[in-house]
Amino acid sequence: MNNNKVTSILNALSNLDLSEYPYAQIKQLIGMLGKVAIIGTTLHPGKRIYRARPNENGEHFSKCCELSYKPANKNFTFQRASTPQTTMFYGAVLPPNLNFGELDSTQIVGLFEVVDFMRSTDSSGEKVLTFGKWVVTKKINLYSVLFHKNYLTKSSYSKKMYGGYLNFLNLFPAFRKDSLMISHFFANQFAKSITPVDYSYMLSACFAEMTVEKGLAGVLYPSVRTEGKGFNVAISPNHADNCLELEAVGECTVYKRKGQTFVDNEQSALVLVGQKEFSLKPVLPQYHAGREIIMAQLYSSIS
């Protein structure tokens, strides 16, 4: 494609007034970009994905579907990788071959994604949430949207993938400039700061939707809430239903006072293949501290 045409389309996308919700126009413009060289990620059978869900108003979960994607009829807003038209399964994954000292816990990524007070060292709070551990049963092919400039130094995986992408593009010089412009543009969209208005996510959401329409299962992208140190996936409901199985569930309470955080196990359950429901049971005493002990530790460590 002519570089001027790609630049013109990306500029047009940038200049849209997203507060007017120009959904159809966004999809039309993205569709005009044509062919682009991408780099993908395949989640192979056995790979684990962790998904966290807050427990609101004392609720407890007992159905597998409650820890999966939001039902389409309850999805009314644009999110980072989903539109109201196409809900997605969100979760956290670990990349392979992490270096020593890198973020190596999908549970931590999940905490930062769903618990607001985790994102500031000055904040405090207490929250119950439930983790679902999902296992991949059939391979899942994702579009990797990893190349935001501020995140390339935050993870060896992002840096390695970007190097591989550049080497790949060297084999196809006709696609190089256009592909880099498009990749960087949408990486910037997926790296947008947290915002209270859903339309700010329209460009990344529509891009993810069109990725699924082209036959991929979804997208892999850096976690904004961990500043690019962790990774999230957004997977289409069809692929989630056919390529994932819930393996285990854990309910816990997060306690935080400024820079100190404790996560206390409360209940857990194993889920057999084919089960639609599960029954949470209290964890063994040695794996549970209790609120009184944890609060005493939190306040003694701060004082």
Query: Rounded CA gap, 105 and 92, in Å?
Result: 9
pLDDT in tens, 61-107: 999 999 999 998 889 999 999 999 889 999 999 999 999 999 999 99
Instruction: Work out the average pLDDT over 130-138.
Output: 98
Q: Is residue 283 over pLDDT 60?
A: yes
| Sequence-separated (6 or more) residues with CB below 8 Å from residue 168 | 37, 39
Residue spans of the domains in the chain: they are: 38-302
pLDDT in tens, 218-231: 999 999 999 999 99
Query: Rounded CA gap, 259 and 247, in Å?
Result: 32
In terms of average pLDDT, the best of 16-25, 31-40, 172-181, 253-262 is 16-25
Q: What share of the chain is helix, strand, coil (3-state, %, to 5)?
A: 40, 25, 35
Question: Whole-model pTM?
Answer: 0.94
- H-helix or E-strand spanning residue 222: strand 218-222
pLDDT in tens, 196-208: 899 999 999 999 9
| 253 within 8 A of 298, measured Cβ to Cβ | no
